[in-house]
């Protein structure tokens, strides 16, 4: 073997430890200890001693700047191991430390042909305010200690990798702790709900559960898998009538065009919208076969032939871990479609809707009848435009919906401002402070007479309408030629429209409003089962 590179033959200087901060300086809010491995023993001479403090001061100045102050408080070197500690007040120090290590690597490379090979953080401690203080212990799934003193929390993360430092784990962990604490204070409290408008009360001679009645008439059959229904010709015709009404009376007059979107939502998309952290227990996950090779499936098929059972353990070996979810909400994939694009001013507001992806939700104990199912049909209009355009469009949508519910379906219904779905679906709580009457979600609810008196019974949310603001246009990098770009969506649940209508009007077409009957046309003849 030939001689190694020059750097490897350098004589390592004796271990050095330098404490920069005198005993008089009080401990700062944040402290980050880093241990870097150099590509060779640290250079002799005073290179580190002279350059490290300078580079640290410059990096701190650049990344913390006027947001706070910081200091390299300690460093030591032994062979190829360089340890340093940066403390700061105000802004957290990790960006400064990353910059410092980058610049140090550059300088050592030039002057001594040594690089910073890798680093890790044995300890990262930050102090932050936590109001309201948590009611009970908060857990994090990464090594840490959390202490709370009044409304001040101190979080220490230990053994952070280089990647975790670069990826901002500390900032995210702090946000998560604050979120968890806030959630504890909301727990058990009612969801935010403020009445917006109510239709006049109506007479309801029919007071039965429409699903029960449809079952009796064999219009529907509870499906072969959980929470799903088979709609026979009559029920299907009525569901499609609701869809036609929504398109003809609301969407087409307001200039919405149909899009057809894929049915699987990628994890990438749901990471951007926040769904994956908000609702992981409500998805149906999609798995793929590991292979289509029949030979790989032979044991499986043989076992099926012999046992007439599904060999679950064998199946588990043959499918991949989940890689997507079956459509939960339609708007995320519509945002993906627009992602990275710049919208021309004359295309605004973009108005599209999807009715092709069938929504799947794991409703668990909450299922009931046709109104709360695991698989439902929904039209989701999505709109993207300037704030003014979206506020105007909301008024137009409200006007058209009102027309449908008052004049065609003749429902008893009301609207209310509620916790925005995009906060709920990303694990948030409450309303958007100060914004709740511009941005936010309006729920549409229908009285279900079979559930009891209108004053005390639970009404059915049969659709909603939201203005989201910039959350999704930002997350998906959707831009306009100039100005702010907002988005929003509305969820028209067809099973909910149908049950709300049948619960109030009954199943006898003679009792249905004339305008609705016109949309229905001729009902298909019932199949007679003997
Ligand atoms: P709920 O609180 O009643 O479960 P949600 O807040 O989960 O409704 P969203 O996520 O806002 O509903 O979905 C928008 C619309 O989709 C709802 O207004 C409703 O029409 C429909 N929808 C949601 N979940 C279901 C379900 N399990 N079965 C039928 N329709 C549903
Ligand atoms: Zn949506
Ligand atoms: Mg729900």
Over residues 292-333, the pLDDT tens digits come to 999 999 999 999 999 999 999 999 999 999 999 999 999 999
496 lines ligand 1 (CB under 6 A): yes
Across the chain, mean pLDDT equals 91
Angle of helix 494-505 versus helix 233-245 axis, rounded to 10: 110
Q: Could you tell me the two tokens for 216?
A: 């009796």
How are strands ordered across the β-sheet holding 440-446? Answer: 193-198, 413-418, 440-446, 460-469, 486-493, 378-385, 350-354, 257-259
Residue 489 CA: which ligand is closest?
Answer: 2
How many other CB atoms sit within 10 Å of the CB of residue 70? 28
Q: What percent of the chain has pLDDT over 90?
A: 80
Would you state the pLDDT for residue 35? 97
Q: Residue of the nearest CA to atom 25 in ligand 1?
A: 372
Q: Could you tell me the two tokens for 364?
A: 């668990």
Residue 81 clears pLDDT 90, i.e. is over it: yes
Residue 331 CA: which ligand is closest?
Answer: 2
- Contact present, 242 and 496 (Cβ < 8 Å): no
| Atom number, ligand 1, closest to the C-alpha of residue 443 | 18
| Atom number, ligand 1, closest to the C-alpha of residue 496 | 20
Question: Using H for helix, E for strand and C for coil, what is the string for 40-108?
Answer: CCCCCCCHHHHHHHHHHHHHHHHHCHHHCEEEEEEEEEECCEEEEEEEEECCCCHHHHHHHHHHHHHHH
Would you state the pLDDT for residue 334? 98
- Contact present, 462 and 409 (Cβ < 8 Å): no
Q: Residue of the nearest CA to atom 24 in ligand 1?
A: 372
Q: Residue of the nearest CA to atom 7 in ligand 1?
A: 421
How many other CB atoms sit within 10 Å of the CB of residue 526? 12
Ligand 1 mutation pick, 270, 371, 378, max ligand atoms within 8 A of CB: 378
Q: 3.30.465.10, 3.30.70.2500, 3.30.70.1920, 3.40.630.30: which CATH number matches 27-186?
A: 3.30.70.1920
Query: How many Cα atoms are found within 13 Å in the side-chain-facing hemisphere of 311?
Result: 15
Sorted by where each begins, the domain ranges of the chain are 27-186, 193-287+322-362+370-520
Q: Could you tell me the two tokens for 476?
A: 């998906």
Q: What is the mean pLDDT of residues 11-32?
A: 66
179 lines ligand 1 (CB under 6 A): no
Active site residue 151: no
- d(C-alpha 462, C-alpha 197), whole Å: 15
| Model pTM score | 0.84
- 79 or 183: which carries more pLDDT confidence? 79
Over residues 142-151, the pLDDT tens digits come to 999 999 999 9
Over residues 229-252, the pLDDT tens digits come to 999 999 999 999 999 999 999 999
Ligand 1 mutation pick, 462, 493, 499, 503, max ligand atoms within 8 A of CB: 493
Rg (CA), the chain: 31
| Atom number, ligand 1, closest to the C-alpha of residue 497 | 20
Would you state the pLDDT for residue 5? 40
Say which of 29, 375, 489, 495 is annotated catalytic. Answer: 489
- d(C-alpha 365, C-alpha 369), whole Å: 12
- Contact present, 495 and 358 (Cβ < 8 Å): no
Residue 368 clears pLDDT 60, i.e. is over it: yes
Domain 193-287+322-362+370-520 has CATH 3.30.930.10: yes
């Amino acid at each position: 073997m030939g001689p190694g590179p020059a750097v490897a033959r350098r004589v390592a200087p004796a271990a050095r430890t330098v404490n920069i901060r005198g005993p008089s300086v009080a401990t700062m809010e944040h402290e980050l200890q880093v241990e870097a491995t150099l590509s060779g023993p640290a250079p002799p001479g005073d290179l580190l001693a002279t350059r490290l403090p300078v580079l640290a001061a410059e990096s701190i100045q650049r990344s913390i700047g006027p947001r706070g102050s910081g200091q390299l408080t300690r460093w030591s070197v032994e062979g190829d191991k360089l340890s340093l500690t940066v403390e700061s007040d105000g802004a957290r120090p990790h960006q400064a430390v990353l910059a410092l290590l980058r610049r140090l690597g550059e300088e050592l490379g030039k002057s001594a042909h040594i690089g910073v090979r890798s680093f890790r953080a044995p300890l990262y401690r930050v102090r932050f305010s936590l109001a309201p203080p948590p009611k009970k212990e908060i857990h994090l799934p990464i090594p840490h200690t959390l202490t709370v003193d009044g409304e001040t929390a101190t979080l220490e993360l230990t053994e952070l990798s280089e990647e975790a430092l670069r990826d901002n784990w500390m900032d995210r962990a702090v946000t998560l702790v604050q979120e968890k604490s806030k959630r504890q204070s909301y727990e058990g409290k009612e969801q935010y709900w403020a009445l917006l408008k109510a239709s006049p009360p109506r007479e309801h001679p029919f007071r039965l559960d429409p699903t029960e009645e449809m079952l009796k008439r064999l219009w529907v059959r509870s499906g072969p898998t959980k929470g799903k229904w088979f709609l026979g010709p009559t029920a299907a015709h009525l569901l499609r009538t609701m869809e036609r009404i929504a398109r003809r009376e609301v969407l087409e007059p307001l200039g919405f065009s149909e899009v057809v979107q894929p049915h699987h939502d990628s994890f990438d998309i749901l990471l951007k919208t926040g769904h994956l952290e908000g609702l992981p227990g409500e998805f149906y996950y999609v798995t793929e076969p590991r292979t289509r090779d029949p030979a790989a499936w032979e044991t499986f098929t043989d076992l099926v032939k012999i046992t007439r059972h599904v060999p679950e353990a064998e199946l588990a070996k043959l499918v991949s871990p989940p890689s997507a979810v079956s459509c939960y909400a339609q708007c995320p994939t519509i945002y993906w479609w627009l992602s990275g694009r710049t919208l021309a001013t004359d295309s605004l507001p973009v108005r599209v809707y999807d009715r092709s992806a069938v929504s799947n939700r794991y409703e668990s104990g909450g299922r009931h009848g046709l109104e709360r199912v695991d698989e439902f049909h929904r039209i989701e209009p999505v709109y993207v435009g300037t704030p003014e355009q979206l506020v105007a469009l909301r008024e137009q949508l409200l006007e058209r919906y009102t027309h449908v519910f008052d004049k065609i379906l003749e429902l008893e219904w009301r609207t209310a401002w509620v916790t925005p779905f995009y906060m709920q679906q990303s694990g948030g709580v409450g309303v958007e402070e100060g914004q709740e009457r511009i941005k936010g979600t309006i729920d549409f609810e229908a009285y279900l007479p079979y559930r009891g008196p209108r004053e005390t019974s639970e009404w059915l949310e049969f659709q909603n309408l939201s203005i989201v603001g910039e959350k999704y246009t930002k997350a998906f990098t959707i831009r306009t030629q100039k100005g702010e770009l907002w988005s929003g969506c509305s969820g028209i649940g067809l099973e909910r429209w149908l049950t709300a209508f049948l619960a109030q009007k009954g199943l006898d077409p003679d009792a249905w409003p004339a305008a609705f009957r016109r949309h229905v046309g001729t009902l298909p003849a019932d199949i007679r089962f003997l």
